[in-house]
Amino acid sequence: MGMPEIFKAGGSKKGANEMEKILEKCPRSQWGSFMAGSDELKFESQQEDEKVVILGRRHPITNLGWITIISFALFIPFFWNEFPFIQMLNGNTLVSLTMLWYLALTFFGMQSFLLWFYNVYIVTTERVVDVDFVGLLSKTVNVAQLSKIEDVNYSQRGLIANTFNFGDVIVETASKQDTPDVADEMSAFTFESIAYPDKVVAVISQLIEDETKKKRTSNMEIIPGITLNLSLIVSIMVKIAMLLIFVLSLVMVRQESLMNRVVNFPVGGSLKILVWGFCVSAFLLTVIVVLA
């Protein structure tokens, strides 16, 4: 299976190559605990140009608890006769109780699976999203923009976590967000017992790096605009100065004429030609600069 479209377009070529290396051997099944981005994957509040990079949930081994409970509970009806209270029930009531038992176990199993399946974290090209469902009717969605993330790290504790490669990923943001369902977490973005925590950290770090480079590029692109505005200001100032010099040249022509009347030198005619020549030159240059 090829790389998702997000790794083929957008961002720097180096960043895309790094992302491909990180996710090269990762599973992409929607039923697993780790899935690389897909154009078909959508979520609530997703922006039009926002792409999902990875989606993950708790490692499947974390379901071992409720699966074990159900496995043992399946055999309890076979020992109904061991309970004195149940021995007093008639056949129809006993059948109804057994049906209720298995129905409750099915409900418990389905609810546990749905909570595992839909309690996910989503890493996109713009942000990190933490979706937490508590029970059937309550949900909490926490969001952090990549630009607001200050640090991301992970931890793996115990033999089981290291054997099956799962752990906790902690995303620290500029502003800490505490919610009722994450009261015991170190931050609002602590993804517990997720698969491939090292790869999740690497992906988020790479996205943050790409976001930082993108901002630097945007800041650099502002410079031509500033240069253009500065050139416009200087151009206007030059035109004003040229007009001022032309006006002063006219004043100088008038002044030379008055001076020549007061003191009439033999070379006064040459000076007059020189002054008028400067005035005409100033006029022509001013017209050229103003009209340019």
| 187 has pLDDT over 80 | no
pLDDT-based confidence at residue 184 (cuts at 50, 70, 90): very low
- pLDDT for 69 beyond 90: yes
Q: In what order do the strands lie in the sheet with 166-173?
A: 149-155, 166-173, 189-195
**56 close to 33: Cβ distance less than 8 angstroms:** yes
pLDDT band at residue 8 under the 50/70/90 scheme? very low
Separation of alpha carbons 183 and 142, rounded Å = 13
Lowest mean pLDDT among 141-150, 169-178, 197-206, 271-280: 169-178
DSSP 127: E
The Cα 85–Cα 71 span in angstroms is 24
* DSSP symbol at 59: -
Predicted TM-score of the model (pTM) = 0.63
pLDDT of residue 240: 84
* CA dist list (Å): 197 to 34, 181, 203, 211: 10, 21, 10, 21
Measured distance CA(217)–CA(15) in Å, rounded: 14
pLDDT for the residue numbered 231: 63
Nearest to 280, CA basis, from 250, 243, 259? 250
Residue 197 in tokens:
């925590």
DSSP annotation of 265 reads -
- % of the chain with per-residue pLDDT over 70: 74
CA dihedral over 58, 59, 63, 65, signed as positive or negative: negative
How far is the C-alpha of 223 from the C-alpha of 239, rounded, in Å?
24
* Average pLDDT for the chain: 76
Higher pLDDT, 240 or 107: 107
Q: What is the pLDDT of residues 218-256, one digit of tens each?
A: 554 445 544 446 667 767 877 788 788 878 878 777 777
Nearest one of 98, 131, 97, 103 to 117, comparing CA atoms:
131
CA distance 63 to 66: 6
What letter represents residue 35's amino acid? M
> Where are the extended beta strands (E) located within 1-43?
34-36
- Pure H helices in the chain: 13-22, 64-73, 84-87, 91-118, 159-164, 197-262, 268-291
Give the mean pLDDT of 9-27.
60
Residue that has been written with the tokens 């929607």 in this structure: 30
pLDDT in tens, 192-210: 888 888 888 888 888 888 8
Give yes or no for a contact between 236 and 244, defined as CB atoms under 8 angstroms apart: no
